[in-house]
Amino acid sequence: MLAATGLALWTADGTIVWLVVGTTVVYLVGVQLPTVTINIPRNNRLQSLRTAEMSAENLRDERIFFEATWNRWNVIRTWIAVSTALSLMITLVMM
């Protein structure tokens, strides 16, 4: 995304530049930010659990804590990533 933005700034003008810059901002805020602030910390927490030593109740509680939020944000990130890819493809056709 940053490379696409750099190329757009270097080779394009007007509307194309703003579309690429806007798409990049949406990608960074909608995909990368939730990845770093939500998904990765949950993955790290999950990886640090000693599941063999946990009771069934603790395992269930950890799964409830992990699964709903992680899945929701994974779907959001996926839709935003697909949307930004489509936006860049449309912008490329416009050039």
- Tens of pLDDT, residue by residue over 22-49, are 999 999 999 999 999 999 999 999 899 9
Contacts 24+ apart (CB under 8 A), 36-39: 38/69, 38/70, 38/73, 39/70, 39/73, 39/74, 39/77
- Report how many domains make up the chain: 1
Measured CA to CA, the distance from residue 21 to residue 43 in angstroms comes to 30
Q: Domain range holding 90?
A: 2-94
What is the per-residue pLDDT for 4? Answer: 82
**Torsions phi, psi for 55 (to 5 deg):** -75, 165
* pLDDT tens sequence across 35-84: 999 999 999 998 999 988 999 999 999 888 889 999 999 999 999 999 99
Record the pTM: 0.81
